[in-house]
């Protein structure tokens, strides 16, 4: 069981940060079908895509329905089971561990705040860069401008603390540069912000 399983199962919950801030996790969006602002990410995926921290698999299923080769990766057994139940391919793995297709993926997805995984966004994007084809891109959902970069501990509904990070739209270019993935596009839709970072 992972910290996010309560949300993956559809229950409302909050992500609490070590600085005292918190936010409601978008459980309904996770568990529903892809749509709305998700289209920014989906339309950008024009080749083989790996979704790191895929959760219940809404993006994996939507890309598969479009005929895109796609693989979801998540540490949660529940997330992998839910993704497969939608008809998507998924592996239960640590996103920082060994994954198939390294160096051959056209796109890496880090949606729903998953740039926070591991608490070090530069290291995570360097990992994404190693997974990408030489002309590939990382598609990253970030927070609205105003917070910059925050690194620390987080927990879900009073559970165990784990390393996490937050990156906003004003800071993602500098983070990407440090990881060797310069920013090539920044977009906002329906209050959500998305960055595309290019390996080439």
The pTM (predicted TM-score) of the whole model is 0.96
pLDDT in tens, the chain (200 residues): 799 999 998 899 999 999 999 999 999 999 999 999 999 999 999 999 999 999 999 999 999 999 999 999 999 999 999 999 999 999 999 999 999 999 999 999 999 999 999 999 999 999 999 999 999 999 999 999 999 999 999 999 999 999 999 999 999 999 999 999 999 999 999 999 999 999 97
181: Cα separation from own chain's centroid: 16
- According to the model, what pLDDT value does residue 1 have? 78
d(CA 111, CA 98): 20
Complete domains list, the chain, with CATH:
5-198 (3.40.50.150)
- According to the model, what pLDDT value does residue 200 have? 75
- According to the model, what pLDDT value does residue 82 have? 97
Token pair 């390294």 is found at: 102
d(CA 185, CA 168): 14
């Amino acid at each position: 069981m992972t910290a996010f399983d309560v949300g993956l199962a559809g229950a409302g919950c909050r992500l609490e940060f070590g600085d005292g801030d918190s936010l409601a996790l978008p459980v309904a969006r996770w568990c529903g079908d892809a749509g709305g602002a998700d289209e920014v990410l989906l339309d950008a995926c024009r080749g083989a895509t790996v979704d790191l921290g895929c959760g219940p698999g809404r993006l994996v299923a939507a890309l598969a329905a479009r005929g895109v080769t796609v693989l979801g990766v998540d540490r949660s057994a529940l997330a992998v089971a839910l993704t497969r139940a939608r008809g998507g391919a998924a592996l239960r793995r640590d996103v920082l561990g060994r994954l198939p297709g390294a160096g051959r993926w056209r796109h890496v997805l880090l949606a729903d705040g998953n740039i926070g995984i591991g608490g070090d966004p530069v290291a995570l994007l360097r990992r994404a860069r190693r997974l990408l084809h030489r002309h590939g891109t990382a598609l990253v959902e970030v927070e609205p401008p105003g917070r910059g970069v925050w690194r620390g501990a987080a927990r879900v509904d009073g559970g165990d603390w784990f390393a996490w990070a937050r990156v906003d739209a004003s800071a993602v270019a500098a983070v990407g540069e440090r990881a060797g993935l310069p920013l090539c596009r920044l977009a906002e839709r329906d209050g959500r912000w998305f960055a595309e970072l290019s390996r080439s």
